[in-house]
């Protein structure tokens, strides 16, 4: 059994919290809800989910967890303005633990300086920000690049959850190979997506 942190704040995308949370619990993992203030009640942006923050980001460290999951919605925008949430995200990734971000959540990966030269996906409105931060963006339901797992939207949650569970079961995958444009393949330079 692994310990998994779900990092979330007010106005998260309801299903992007619930589906991975339930899948990880069903798989027998301990899942803690981490946010900005322990004990605070928060609600999803669609009002379907109301959850209680179990621990504050300032009170946990990367050694406490085996993986980090970040739902989308407006939540990542709140989290990226908090040093403790950014620190937890960054340190989890730097010690090579799975960090999974769906929809708008890759914006927190940008803030944590984790996307440069990484292959990722996201909600389309985050694409340009990711490219400007040095990422290689791909329109796929799930993209796994080493310990960074990303997905586009609620429709991708089955594949996203599968990728998280696979990363936890197998350990972290190697970094993805750069995508080469046909004309650049002989020069061995990555293409700009």
Q: What's residue 81's pLDDT? A: 97
Q: What's residue 1's pLDDT? A: 86
Q: What's residue 193's pLDDT? A: 39
Q: What is the pLDDT of residues 93-150, one digit of tens each?
A: 999 999 999 999 999 999 999 999 999 999 999 999 999 999 999 999 999 999 999 9
In a domain, 116, yes or no: yes
- Answer for the pair 34, 6: CB distance below 8 angstroms, yes or no: yes
Structural domains counted in the chain: 1
Domain range for 49 is: 3-187
Return d(Cα 70, Cα 12) in angstroms, integer.
9
| Residue 177, SS3 per DSSP | coil
Strand 50-52 vs strand 41-43: parallel, antiparallel, or unpaired? antiparallel
Q: Which tokens go with 24? A: 């990880």
Question: At residue 181, does pLDDT exceed 50?
Answer: no
In a domain, 154, yes or no: yes
- Answer for the pair 102, 71: CB distance below 8 angstroms, yes or no: yes
Provide the whole-model pTM.
0.88
Concatenating the DSSP letter of every residue in 112-156 gives: TT--TT-EE---GGGHHHHHHTT-EE--SSEEEETTEEEE-SGGG
The dihedrals phi and psi of 129, each to the nearest 5 degrees, come to -60, -40
Q: What's residue 172's pLDDT? A: 56
CA 60: distance to chain centroid?
17
Return d(Cα 190, Cα 193) in angstroms, integer.
9
In a domain, 193, yes or no: no
The catalytic position among 60, 70, 103, 120 is 103
How many C-beta neighbours within 10 Å does residue 27 have?
16
Q: pLDDT band for position 171 (50/70/90)?
A: confident
Q: Which tokens go with 103? A: 């929809």
Q: What is the pLDDT of residues 43-99, one digit of tens each?
A: 999 999 999 999 999 999 999 999 999 999 999 999 999 999 999 999 999 999 999
Q: Which tokens go with 33? A: 């809800």
The CATH code of the domain that includes 125 is 3.40.50.880
Q: What's residue 55's pLDDT? A: 98
Active site residue 103: yes
In a domain, 192, yes or no: no
Cα–Cα distances in Å, from 150 out to 155, 169, 180, 184? Answer: 13, 17, 21, 26
Return d(Cα 136, Cα 31) in angstroms, integer.
30
């Amino acid at each position: 059994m692994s310990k998994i942190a779900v990092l979330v704040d007010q106005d998260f995308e309801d299903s992007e919290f619930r589906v991975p949370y339930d899948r990880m619990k069903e798989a027998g993992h301990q899942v803690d809800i981490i946010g900005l203030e322990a004990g605070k009640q928060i609600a999803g942006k669609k009002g379907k989910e109301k959850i209680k923050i179990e621990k504050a980001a300032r009170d946990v460290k990367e050694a406490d967890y085996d993986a980090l999951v970040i739902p989308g919605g407006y939540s990542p925008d709140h989290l990226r303005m908090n040093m403790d949430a950014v620190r937890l995200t960054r340190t989890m990734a730097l010690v090579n633990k799975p960090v999974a971000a769906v929809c708008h959540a890759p914006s927190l990966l940008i803030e944590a300086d984790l996307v440069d030269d990484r292959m990722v996906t996201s909600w389309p409105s985050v694409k340009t920000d990711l490219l400007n931060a040095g990422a290689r963006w791909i329109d796929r339901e799930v993209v796994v690049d080493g310990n960074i797992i990303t997905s586009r939207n609620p429709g991708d949650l089955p594949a996203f959850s599968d990728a998280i569970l696979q990363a936890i079961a197998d350990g972290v995958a190697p970094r993805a190979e750069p995508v080469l444009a046909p004309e650049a393949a002989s020069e061995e330079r990555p293409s700009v997506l």
